Structure 1
Amino acid sequence: MYNDNNRVFRRNVLAASIVATAAGSPVAFAQDQEQSRTVEEVIVTATKRETSLQDTPVAVTAVSGEMLTELGIQSSIDLVKVAPGLKVSWQGPWPSFKMRGGGVAGLNGPAVPLYTNGLAGGTSWAGWLDVERVEVMRGPQGTLYGANTLGGLVNIIHKKPDTEAFDYGVTVTAGDYNLLKQEGFVNLPLSDKLAVRLTASNTDQDPLIENKGNPEGGLRDENNNYVRAQLFFAPTDTVDMNLSYSKWHNDSMGNANYGYHYVGIPINSDTGRASPFGDVLDPRKGTIAGNEAAGGRTYHNGNPATNPTGYYEVDGDFENTWQNDTETLEFELNWDVGFADLTLRARHSETENLNVWDVDQSDAIDPALWDPRTFADSGWVSGRRWTGVIDGNTGVSEGDQVDVVLNSNSDGAFRWGLGFYWADASDPDKNNGTYVWAYNDANDMSANYVPSWTYWDFYGSKSRAIYANAEYDLTEDLTVSAGVRRQEDSGFGYRNYSADPDWCWCYYAPASYVKPVSGYTDASYYTETAEWSRNEYNDVGHTDYKLAFNYVLNDEINFYGSFSTGYIPGGASGTQILDPNELDAFEFGMKSDLLDSLRLNMALYHSEYTGLSYTVYEQTANTILSRQESGGSLTSQGLEVELLWLPTDALSINAGLVLDDTTLDEYALTESRFFEGPYNEEGGYYPVRVGRSGWFADGDTDRPVAPPTYILDGKEAAFSPGYIVNLDVAYMVDLGDMGTLTPGITLYHQADYKTMNEDFPFSRQDGYTTVDLRATWETPVENLAVKAYVNNATDELYKVSQNVFSNGRIMADYGRQRTAGIRVGYNF
């Protein structure tokens, strides 16, 4: 009833909003213009040509580099504060974007990817400095940007070298948890045609998640550095080119892969078993002695630690590790060929990654530990003592991209663009990764037993596409446009499992701490997959198109509308080839600049996703494995509102509102991680998981039954709050000869939402509000500024991911707790 009532409310509000959008009036915010500032024109490249934000028939949020600095946005997880509708979940090292239903359920890849300088790629943590702007494009961008942009995309655009003048800037930030961050840039003109720009940062911070068992092994610390070097050359007035090299090096402890906090185990008080619909959430992370039916860990730790750690604490003996090296080489060419402008962008990228963490969070060393190789209670094998479980992955990736676009540059009524895209990441020697699960030695962290179901995946892909778009001014006020893209994808994937049918012995080589991929990638540990069982897909084609209009009502207000499609290729998932995900989307919007000091933009959207995949769990000889099936669908519809108001020279207000209704139309999930399934009304029994291996049996007759399957048709999708509100207010105080002081406050509120698509009681996150405070002093010294800040000032606790781990243990990640610091910057 709660969800249904909320849905009715949201749909009524959406209907009313259509009327409000169509009736937008400039008299709604009458004010004294003599005391106000003018909202500046913003140029964006969302359509792969430079256009005014207000004349672009796409829902775009453009955030300047100065605004990123002022609000302290230095990674993807902070961008939600200023981009209405953008949501971030965070599990493992890499956060992921979600928007307009994209990324909330059953997709074969990211639906809201991160782009850098117009090409897919970049990291959530690096490159967010010395930025020209960030463009958040909402809705499918398939005709111009290709696959994987169903919900939209985020494009970071770096500042380029400037041939006009020498320039430099530097900043130092210090904060709690021993934060020390240094950033800087230097722009060096070598001539009126040649310039160099260098940008760099170095960040150190103690873990935000404390390890009670091992102070050296926390999570969410920072130990990374970033460098970017650019060379700009403009040999003529019609040609310029830019060559850019960047490298991000990280050697930290990262974030947990499945959620760092053990929420507890839901227990059915009638049966005493772990049940997803249990009426008691027992706050522990292990079994109760002698009661296996209650779920949780049954080995590795003599003391199951019945009291979980705090919300920002873990308890383990292993020093968690996240190492990453990412290098990119980019080239951009711009050439005015007379009748058109040619732009070529190319990128080569290489990444090595390792992350390993203490998944069982056990710190006890007990001589009576369970022995995973012999199932004896000795705790010793060949003089070694096995104390816990480590989990993670290693991987390498390497790929190339080229995008070429030719845009007409005439002032006539007809404008056109042609494009070609090519990408290659098909070398299995350079695109592969291992899944790591191992039982580690308390005295030698380089030694491990590895079970037979760990694996080494090899994969690769190629893509090529041609695309075209055209727009025509039917009248002085009405413009229509159309776009089409044909893309073909090829790829493969295969998986090699551990060679030993039971367990294999391997060393986690110390060298891997220096070169991540040297651990767990010895071919002798794995059985090579037969050629006939390898999956390949060749030239799987897909055509996307878009139809749109833009109508100029008057000098202040534009209306636009569009219908567009999108897709994500099926590709390989382990040993499977998945069907593509597809999307049909409608959008109707208004963009307005009212009284010069007020910008009000709105967008209504309706998106229909099909071909969604979902997870099915299956029992194997030693554990539970997952596989993917296709056939799900969902619908996402809503309203997005953005407001920028400069009522006086001193006051600025930036706000956003999102009303969203994202519903699973056809969707099902199979569950095998609890010891007990839901009550069977017809049979009158609880299906019970037999032993640790995962098959289910009739609770009354012990006959085998299918694992529980949950039909989620018509249910609310995960990470889809009914509404989101963001508000930023800043006021500048003139201090005379002492400069200016600008205090500011950023509020961000999400309504309640589910953290998982299953309708489990524990999956819901209550609505929450975060408050960020800041005060920036522009000193009398030109370009020197000091900023004090407190993020999440009220220390709000909220989940950013949740997962059901083996044996019914609920694990979650939470957003960052309260942090504070001071930033001193010169011209940066």
Structure 2
Amino acid sequence: MALLVGAGPALAQNAAGTAAKPASDDSGIADIVVTATRQATNLQSTPIAVTAVTAKALEERGITSIGDLTSTVPNSQFRRVQGAFGPGVSAFIRGIGSGDTSLAGQPPVAFYIDDVYYPVLLGANFDLLDVDHVEVLRGPQGTLFGRNSLAGAINVVARQPNTHDASAYVEATTGSYKRIDLRAGFNLPLNDTMAILVSGLSKKREGYQKELDFTCQMNKNGTPQLAGSFPYVNPLGNATKLDSGDCVIGHYGGEDVRGGRGSFLWQPTPSIKITVTGDYLRDLSENPADSVVDVDPTRANANMKSQAAYFGLTIDSRFMTGDPYTTYATYTDRIAACTVIPGNTYYNGSVNERGQCTRGGYSLPNHNNLANWGVAGKLNWDLGNHIALTAVFAHRDLNETHTFDTDGTPLVVEHVINHLIEKYNHAEVRLSGTSKLIDWVGGVFYFHAKGDQHASLQQPSSGLQRALHTTYTPDSKAVFANATIRPFGEKLSFVGGLRYADDKIAVNFSNISDVSYLTTASDILFKVTPESKKLSWKAGVNYQATSTMLFYASAATGYSLPGYNTRPLQKTQVEQSDANSDIAYELGAKLDLFDRRLRLNVAGFYTNFSSRPTTISGAEALLNDAGQPQVGNQALIPLPGGPAGSTQCSPTLVAANTGIVCLGRTYFRNQPAKIRGGEAEYTLNPIENLLINGSVGWSKFTAPDIAARTVNRRQSNPFWTASSGIQYKIPLDRIGGSITPRVDWTYEGSQIVSGTSTKYNGLLPAKSLFNGRITYDNTDHNFSIAVGVINMFNKFYYINVFDYQPLGYPQTDAQPAAPRQWSLTVSKKF
């Protein structure tokens, strides 16, 4: 237990607006109420591996978004996705997950915000504003949470208005990188039956990665010859920059977010409660920090070399700044429109049918632009005899634009700009009841959405510039039921659940060349409708040995729809995939011991991931309409394991100047996997005011292509995760309150993220991170002051590594995590 000392997910403190309720004797660790079974139950009597993070716990650990939950949930990883996927979050639970935010993505972790389904990872890094608690359910949840819950589900429960007390709060934070955060809110009873709850936030922080002017920096380094004739970003500022040695022209990794949320409660009778909620979020944050960590000049093709030669440059290590907190990426093409570079198939003076130059001379925004709003209504009706009706109706609207500089150099290997519009309608009606014999819930679910994507791909490396337009219309209808039966009394119970779902997604895909407004043979046009009718099930048995000891065993299924290649660049890449499906078997125990001074929740699991269509990355030759290489006519070798007609494109062909252009591609291969592991969460309250809590998780991922390896090759997750922390509340009556110091530790073992990177061999090493916080609470005047430090020992590490070399590019990029940051927060409650 000493090794696991830590900051766990369910802290004992009970605070206004949290889900915690005091123990019956007002001592020991408090109970927490969760809705993981679609009914309100005590966390310790809920036979599911679920982490419940209360609002107080979020505050004490400095967690403000979904992406920060990694530090609390065992065998799980949540983080901001790599820049190509926009302002989204990658979510992995027990080795299963995804970081693809595309409209066609099937994220294996289902997101619910106040019972409203959120279908994609784009924009899913929610700011946890006025949250009551967050529930993270581990293992497939197909019966109650439906499609795309192969790995688990995240259920965010917000604070609700109340008609009893008027209250308000205001909070201001300042800190590193010119950070200024403001939060405020109030609850106002209008009368005995109505109340409103309103809250808002503003967050502003400068990025921790510096954008450098390439030519300025080469001069500053004393190597002006390495800049060739590449122009300054701002010619008027050249002299000033050279004199001052300041080559910084921007930043990445910053934050610029504003949002608000309002809820109206009407309770016309004691048995009927109606809540209407609206929220709005605007995110103009800078693109994520991204740096070039490896360059292999042999992978630069003729287009890349001739583009560099236009400025008197060669593609080599000069584009690596040597400091991961700096980059030369500018999202700008410095070659003027209509420029002709001999031997280059991109800069060839191309014009469209209207006589317009379509290539070169542009600048893309280097920040995302997200507007996300929604409105939801919920009816809770107590029908009597312990039977209740819940109905949820919601609409959400998302409009987002993001860009990505694939290569991270001052040249243009590939630039992408995406504009997505998504609209969702969701309805769910549930009827539930409780009795000595049975607890049950059943309902119907309906979801309909419309997605529209416009994107432009500038790819001088392959000679392509293409316009993409995809419409995406998912429909989902389901009926479900879940019951816990106690035929022999309170100690022994049986769980059963079923869900029948009818899901489909109608997709109309268009990827056309920029050189013609008419359809040409090189254009990619197709329609697909992945669909499935699926029966999901769950079965389990529970044994309540004592009032504080629960043991359970269960089996449950999860699934997602069939998919397709969402990013084909030529016709050989049009391909569909099978559906995902898995079954997880779990043994667990939930224990409150030593007069409720120790809470220990443990689980062991085995997941049979039977249908697992995996995307395999590679490169193939760019073909013309006749199915031959775009330039040259050399014999090509089939792509091993790839679809019929696909070819491989090796650096040898490129280096030999054969004229063949390599084009990145992915294809699908079913690779069933077995995942086994265990996890534990604990909270220890040995004496008054001392709290120790934490978690530890271990999992191993075995699939046919990695059976001989000792690391999780395709998992993108570590074998081990752990978190720990300790806090002690020191009463100080002389200053009218208390001081609470807290230290948190998070550990992630090493993990494979790429198999071909020559810089890191695709391996992210293990890391330990420490955060600290000291809080002064003044009970007389109801305010607090907190000083916090994130990454206390300034540990350097990469969040992810993205190796583009197997896709036909010369570089490997990595996303550096933020260095040490301090903050000062002052809050006041009224």
TM-score tier after normalising by the smaller chain length: 0.7 to 0.9
Aligned to 1:826: 828
**1:569 and 2:569 aligned:** no
| Structure 2 residue 295 is the aligned partner of structure 1 residue 265 | yes
Contact 2:407 2:813 in 1 (8 A): no
Q: How many Å apart are 1:305 and its aligned residue?
A: 6.4
- Give the match's secondary structure for 1:553: strand
Aligned 1:390-409 pairs, distance under 5 A = 390-409=415-434
Go from structure 1 to structure 2 and tell me whether the alpha carbon gap of 1:305 and 1:175 turns closer, same or farther (over 3 Å shift).
Answer: farther
Identity of aligned residues (%): 23
Deviation for aligned residue 1:792: 0.5
1:332 matched residue in structure 2: 378
The residue aligned with 1:492 is 506
Matched, 1:355 2:402: yes
In the TM superposition, residue 715 of structure 1 has moved relative to its aligned partner by 6.0
Following superposition, the deviation at residue 88 of structure 1 comes to: 2.4
Question: Residue 446 of structure 2 is aligned with which of 396, 415, 422?
Answer: 422
Residues 637, 296 of structure 1: alpha-carbon distance in 2 compared, 3 angstrom cutoff? farther
Please give the secondary structure, in 2, of the residue aligned with 1:42.
strand
- Would you say 1:182 and 2:182 are equivalent positions? yes
Q: CA deviation at 1:628?
A: 3.2
Per the alignment, residue 242 of structure 1 pairs with: 275
> What RMSD, in angstroms, separates the aligned Cα atoms of the two structures?
3.2
**Structure 1 position 317 matched with structure 2 position 330:** yes
Q: Which amino acid aligns with 1:137?
A: L
Say which of 659, 675, 680 aligns to 1:636. 675
1:778 corresponds in structure 2 to 777
CA distance in 2: counterparts of 1:424 and 1:810, whole angstroms: 39
Per-residue deviation, residues 620-678 of structure 1 (Å, max 9, x unmatched): 2365142432411111111110010111112100111111111223579xxxxxxxxxx
Query: For the residues of structure 1 that align with 2:826 and 2:277, how far apart are their CA atoms?
Result: 28
CA separation in 1, counterparts of 2:209 and 2:585? 43
Q: Distance in 1 between matches of 2:310 and 2:30?
A: 62
2:392 to 345, 356, 369: 345
Show the counterpart of 2:82.
91
> Aligned to 2:550, which of 552, 558, 567?
558
Matched with 1:481 is: 495
Deviations 1:183-217 (A, max 9, x none): 01111111111111111000111112211227453
2:303/2:460 contact within 8 Å kept: no
Does residue 809 in structure 1 map to residue 811 in structure 2?
yes
TM-score, normalised to structure 2's length?
0.76
CA distance in 2, matches of 1:228, 1:644: 32
* 2:729 is the alignment partner of 1:736: no
Offset of residue 219 of structure 1: 1.4
Take 1:211 and 1:244, find their aligned partners in 2: how far apart are those partners? 40
Aligned ranges for residues 193-342 of structure 1 at < 5 Å?
193-213=193-213, 215-255=248-288, 260-265=290-295, 273=298, 302-303=312-313, 304=315, 306-307=317-318, 308-309=320-321, 310-318=323-331, 320-339=366-385, 340-342=387-389
Q: How many aligned positions are there?
A: 674
Per the normalisation by structure 1, the TM-score is: 0.76
CA contact (8 A) 1:804 1:810 kept: yes
Task: Give me the whole-angstrom Cα distance separating, in 2, the residues matched to 1:58 and 1:206.
Answer: 41
Question: In structure 2, how many angstroms separate the alpha carbons of the residues matched to 1:793 and 1:110?
Answer: 33
The alpha-carbon deviation at position 113 of structure 1 amounts to 3.0
Q: For 1:519-540, what per-residue CA distance to the aligned partner results, in whole angstroms no more than 9, with x for missing partners?
A: xxxxx598799999311245x2
Unaligned 5+ runs, structure 1: 1-32, 268-272, 275-286, 365-386, 441-448, 505-523, 669-710
Partner of 2:185, secondary structure, is strand
Whether 2:671 is the aligned partner of 1:654: answer: no
Deviation string 1:6-30 (CA, Å, 9 cap, x unpaired) is: xxxxxxxxxxxxxxxxxxxxxxxxx
Q: Does the CA-based 8 Å contact 1:600-1:641 persist in structure 2?
A: yes
- What does residue 707 of structure 1 align with? none
Distance 1:412 1:781, change over 3 A: closer
Q: Is the 8 A contact 1:238 1:337 kept in 2?
A: yes
CA spacing shift, 1:499–1:818, aligned 2, 3 Å: same
Q: Report the equivalent of 2:714.
A: 717
The verdict on how the C-alpha distance between 1:91 and 1:715 changes in structure 2, with shifts beyond 3 A counting, is closer
* Structure 2: runs of 5 or more not aligned: 1-22, 214-246, 332-364, 567-573, 624-660
Contact kept in structure 2, 1:105 and 1:757, CA below 8 Å = no
Corresponding residue for residue 601 of structure 2: 601
TM-fit CA distance, 1:298:
5.2
1:82 Cα deviation from its structure 2 partner: 1.5
Measured in 2, the distance between the counterparts of 1:60 and 1:723 equals 18
Tell me, yes or no, if the aligned pair for 1:265 and 1:295 is still in contact at 8 Å.
no
Cα distance, 1:592 vs structure 2:
0.4
Q: Which amino acid aligns with 2:151?
A: G
- SS of residue paired to 1:113: strand
Measure the CA separation in 2 of the matches of 1:604 and 1:403.
32
Q: 1:207 to 1:577 in 2, by over 3 A?
A: same
Quick one: which amino acid aligns to residue 616 of structure 2?
A: T
Please give the residue correspondences for 1:42-61 in structure 2 after superposition, counting only pairs within 5 Å.
42-61=32-51
| SS in structure 1 of the partner of residue 96 of structure 2 | coil
CA contact (8 A) 1:100 1:151 kept: yes
